[in-house]
Amino acid sequence: MGHVILQHMVDDAGLTDHVRVSSSGTGDWHVGEHADPRTVEVLARHGYDGSRHRAREFDPDEFDDIDLVLASDEGHVRTLTRLARTPGNRGKIRLVREFDPEAVAAGTLETGDPWYGDREHFARCFAEVEAACRGILHHVRAQVDGRFVDQVETPVGSRGADRDRHTDPGQP
């Protein structure tokens, strides 16, 4: 979900030549599979096309090519922290919702996993992720505009220009 939303925002912002968005999971359970049909459905309701998304597993070797690794919850942060081989790589790991000022103010930084829920859970997750992606885009744009550039990798979770900027919003 996050990959599709953030890629769309990056494209609309004209940052495609500066930012690379990708998505991966912290486990191999759904590698090669399409996104959950409920994810594709909620994305389509909001004008996003998630039909081509395929799950893949995060490769720790990618840390060296990524400036920002986004995780959906603390469990994924712990998994990614174990995979990170250096303090610098560990410093790249952030929760997706850290980029949503309302989530920060409310102290609700974990993205709810809709996997076992109904359509309402997917709708809520969509709202959380889209709000966070707006903040991520703002952060990345600031980096591209001169402060320094971000690569963002957001693992999906356990389910499923100069240097490229790699943005991978997790996909609960």
The residues carrying an active-site annotation are 113
Two tokens, residue 143: 């980096």
Two tokens, residue 9: 């925002």
- Tokens 């890629």 belong to 7
- For residue 27, the tally of other CB atoms under 10 A from its CB is 18
Write b or e for each residue in 113-151: b if 16 or more Cβ atoms lie within 10 A of its Cβ, otherwise e: bbbeeeeebbbebbebbbbbbebbbebbbebbeeeebbb
